[in-house]
């Protein structure tokens, strides 16, 4: 253990200047601005203030307002019990309505959320029927405890005060593809609360558990206190694919088991959250206070064809994690069903995103899983990095 700590200390020392450059020019922690945390919010609202700038870097000009008070649903409430037709309930919902799904029930299918031309005063909320009093308070990260799961191998202690299942589960039943949640072109003003989102059938790759329809746009989406996960030994490429979305928040949620299998697998790069590709406007995005776990990249912006780049991205208080039992030399090793390990790359990768309008808090590096830097498990890829920054048409600046 002491030897490992010394190795890590030497690594940070060797990369000290580059870490500072990346954080100050791209990721924008509070310390780069010489501001205390209390001043940051006030400076963020002052677009023309010199305190917003540090060389080429700039705090986001636009922030996603994602609180319950900012996303009201004051219309009708519809209760849907196990076995109910969720797609019909979604189709029938009017702007401002709430759909409550029976806590502990499983709703199986591929659910399309259509465009309803709602506005900031009339959101459609889809949530567990469990009362707010049994969920973590707004602004507090949900854990699998709330789905009745007291622990997962290789993960931090959940410290469950209760293991009663109070979430409603949306489960994708197909043999491959994307689901269970797909936003149709033009979908807008949806808030999802207290849901477990996953897939069912093993033996097939599922690409996105939550995504936009191909080439679609969507706006004003909030994913709040959710457990979004694949299966322990199956290929699930991505939790949330942001696509051509704007004004999206992923907050207080828990992502686990996103991975692709080396050598014999179908996919290559896996992510908890991915975006930054396509020809439509992207951002602002708010990714705050989540547990993010994926074998390749916990978060990626870019990596595919794009004519536009996302901007105004807020990344704060996220725990980026990779279980040690995904390493083959571990006695409790877990990989694909055929015994091959998962493809491991970077914790955070930016290939296509604006250098202006990005904010990460100063704790980002400290919350990345560092022990994977030595002797990585990789297939057809370079050594994984904690942070990888690749300017468009430029060289890789990774550490």
- Alpha-carbon gap, residue 237 to 54, rounded angstroms: 36
| Span 53-88, pLDDT tens digits | 656 667 788 999 999 999 999 999 999 999 999 999
Buried b (16+ CB within 10 A) or exposed e, 208-230: bbbbbbeebbbbbbbbbbbbbbb
Quick one: what percent of the chain has pLDDT higher than 70?
72
| Span 152-211, pLDDT tens digits | 999 999 999 999 999 999 999 999 999 999 999 999 999 999 999 999 999 999 999 999
Q: Does residue 201 form part of some domain?
A: yes
Q: Domain span at residue 371?
A: 58-398
CATH number for the domain harbouring residue 194: 2.160.20
Domain tally for the chain? 1
Q: Does residue 356 form part of some domain?
A: yes
φ, ψ for residue 354 (rounded to 5)?
-70, 140
- Alpha-carbon gap, residue 200 to 204, rounded angstroms: 10
| Span 236-261, pLDDT tens digits | 999 999 999 999 999 999 999 999 99
| Span 216-226, pLDDT tens digits | 999 999 999 99
Q: Does residue 52 form part of some domain?
A: no
Residue 309 is predicted with a pLDDT of 85
| Span 281-335, pLDDT tens digits | 999 999 999 999 999 999 998 878 888 888 899 999 999 999 999 999 999 999 9
φ, ψ for residue 23 (rounded to 5)?
-65, -40
Q: Does residue 83 form part of some domain?
A: yes
Q: Does residue 33 form part of some domain?
A: no
Least confident interval from 141-150, 274-283, 345-354, 366-375? 366-375
Nearest to 249 by CA among 199, 310, 190, 324: 190
**Is there a contact between 180 and 171 (Cβ–Cβ < 8 Å)?**
yes
| Span 109-161, pLDDT tens digits | 999 999 999 999 999 999 999 999 999 999 999 999 999 999 999 999 999 99
Cα 165 to Cα 116, 147, 171, 195, distances in angstroms: 31, 4, 15, 11
Q: Does residue 14 form part of some domain?
A: no
Q: Does residue 50 form part of some domain?
A: no
**Is there a contact between 289 and 136 (Cβ–Cβ < 8 Å)?**
no
Q: Does residue 241 form part of some domain?
A: yes
């Amino acid at each position: 253990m002491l030897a490992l700590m010394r190795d890590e200390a030497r690594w940070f020392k060797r990369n000290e200047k580059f870490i500072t450059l990346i954080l100050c020019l791209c990721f924008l922690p509070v310390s780069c601005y010489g501001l205390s945390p209390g001043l940051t919010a006030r400076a963020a609202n002052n677009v023309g203030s010199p305190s917003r700038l540090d060389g080429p870097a700039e705090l986001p000009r636009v922030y996603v307002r994602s609180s319950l008070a900012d996303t009201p649903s004051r219309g009708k409430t519809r209760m849907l019990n196990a076995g109910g037709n969720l797609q019909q309930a979604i189709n029938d919902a009017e702007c401002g309505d709430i759909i409550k799904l029976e806590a502990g029930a499983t709703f199986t299918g591929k659910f399309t959320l259509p465009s309803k031309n709602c506005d900031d005063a009339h959101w459609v909320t889809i949530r567990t029927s469990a009362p707010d009093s049994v969920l973590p308070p707004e602004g507090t990260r949900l854990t699998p405890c709330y789905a009745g799961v007291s622990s997962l191998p290789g993960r931090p202690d959940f410290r469950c005060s209760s293991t009663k299942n109070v979430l409603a589960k949306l489960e994708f039943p197909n043999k491959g593809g994307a689901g269970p949640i797909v936003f149709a072109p033009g979908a807008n003003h949806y808030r999802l609360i207290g849901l477990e989102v996953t897939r069912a059938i093993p033996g097939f790759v599922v690409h996105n558990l939550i995504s936009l329809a191909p080439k679609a746009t969507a706006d004003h989406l909030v994913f709040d206190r959710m457990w979004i996960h694949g299966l322990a030994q199956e290929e699930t490429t991505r939790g949330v694919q942001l696509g051509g979305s704007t004004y999206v928040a992923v907050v207080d949620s828990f992502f686990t088991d996103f991975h692709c299998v080396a050598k014999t697998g179908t996919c290559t790069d896996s992510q908890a959250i991915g975006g930054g590709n396509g020809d439509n406007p992207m951002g602002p995005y708010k990714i705050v206070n989540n547990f993010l776990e994926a074998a390749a990249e916990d978060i990626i912006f870019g990596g595919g064809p794009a004519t536009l780049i996302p901007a105004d991205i807020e990344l704060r208080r996220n725990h980026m994690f990779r279980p040690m039992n995904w390493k083959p030399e571990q006695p409790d090793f877990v990989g694909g069903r055929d015994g091959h390990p998962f493809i491991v790359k970077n914790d955070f990768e930016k290939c296509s995103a604006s250098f202006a309008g990005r904010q990460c808090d100063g704790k980002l590096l400290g919350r990345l899983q560092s022990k994977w830097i030595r002797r990585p498990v990789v297939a057809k890829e370079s050594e994984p990095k904690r942070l990888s920054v690749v300017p468009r048409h430029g060289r890789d600046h990774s550490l």
